[in-house]
Amino acid sequence: MIDVGRPLNLTIIGVPVEEGAGRAGAAMGPRALRTAGLRAELADLGHDVEDIGDLALPQELPAAPAGLANANRFAEVAGWSRALAHATGQVLGRGRLPVAIGGDHSLSMGSVAAVAQHCATAGRELFVLWLDAHADFNTPATSPSGNMHGMSAAMLTREPGLEAVLGELQTAGLPPANLFLFGIRSIDRAERALLDARGVDITDMRLIDEFGTAVMIRRVIDHVAGHKGWLHVSLDVDVLDPAIAPGVGTPVPGGTSYREAHLIMELLHESGLVGSLDVVELNPFLDDRGRSAILLVDLVASLFGRQVYERAI
């Protein structure tokens, strides 16, 4: 566990990938988060923050496997994933906490894969908290759109059809039982059947409405803490209600409120369990004067210790 009272060594990795999404614009997400003051906000909390800039798409891209259909822009998504897996592994190897900023949610194929390999080597059990309106558990066989940002969670749990994304970089998989989908309110029919078959833990907005944000997120925290696990947080801007965060290509009404989202971040910080982070799906082209970018920066600051009133933990 992380000592929440001491400064952290944070490394920001920009990932301007948009090939996994159905709309252009997410490639501008890293720049918008920087413009909104991400590094300064984290440094102001006392953390050591480095920004290694944006990754570049490799010039030589992997070919899609023969017979693979319904996986749009496979070569580009696989290229970005491999580049991010390599960069994330290097950051973890230097004892720093990686913060991948994107970019669409396909980037998690690379970041979480690297974290999974790091945890396997270190003998730590990995858990992933997927804060999202969508389950992202489609495969090429089930996806209605073929957009790979909707397949990232399935790829990480080794669902068939996506083995070639990382190629020889293939790393330790994530057990489906260690994936927590949180804030969900849009699931495709075939995706639902697959989630049920795999036993993935799902906290949809109905459960949050009924039992409250604190109860439901503490349930996740307590489970991970009970296993002395490493928690990777994958924060998709569309977990938020589009009324407060319009800068997203796949908005779904009825998301978390401003205070619900901050409470999640605050409780995660206090847990001391978070060892890595993704911030994904910000599309500045669809935003309103930077509202979504500013809110995301505020949420990341809450995750790393900013409080309205500082209390002893």
Distances (CA, A) of 247 to 75, 113, 123, 177, 306: 26, 27, 38, 31, 24
User: Residue 92, SS3?
Assistant: helix
- Residues near 275 by beta carbon (within 8 Å), at least 6 away in sequence: 2, 97, 115, 230, 231, 232
Would the pLDDT of 190 be above 90? yes
In terms of phi and psi (left: phi > 0; alpha: psi -120 to 50; beta: otherwise), the region of 25 is left
pLDDT at 4: 65
Confidence of residue 3 (pLDDT cuts 50, 70, 90): low
Would the pLDDT of 139 be above 90? yes
pLDDT at 308: 64
CA distance 278 to 108: 7
CA angle, corner 80, sides to 179 and 178, nearest 5?
Answer: 10
pLDDT at 312: 55
Active site amino acids: 105, 132, 134, 136, 149, 236, 238, 281
* Backbone CA torsion sign across 39, 242, 247, 240: positive
Average pLDDT, the chain: 95
User: Residue 52, SS3?
Assistant: strand
Confidence of residue 63 (pLDDT cuts 50, 70, 90): confident
Confidence of residue 111 (pLDDT cuts 50, 70, 90): very high
Q: Model confidence over 14-52: pLDDT tens digits? A: 999 999 999 999 999 999 999 999 999 999 999 999 999
Average pLDDT value for residue range 285-313: 88
Average pLDDT value for residue range 277-282: 98
* Domains of the chain with CATH codes: 9-303 (3.40.800.10)
Say which residue, 205 or 1, is predicted with more confidence. 205
Q: Tell me, what amino acid is at 95?
A: G
pLDDT at 173: 84
Average pLDDT value for residue range 63-67: 82
Confidence of residue 13 (pLDDT cuts 50, 70, 90): very high
| 8-12, 65-69, 220-224, range with the lowest pLDDT | 65-69
Q: Which two tokens stand for residue 52?
A: 């290694």
Q: Tell me, what amino acid is at 223?
A: H
This model's pTM is above 0.85? yes
Average pLDDT value for residue range 125-142: 97
Q: Is 60 exposed, middle or buried (0-12, 13-18, 19+ CB in 10 A)?
A: exposed
CA distance 182 to 201: 9
Q: Are 266 and 274 in contact (CB under 8 A)?
A: no
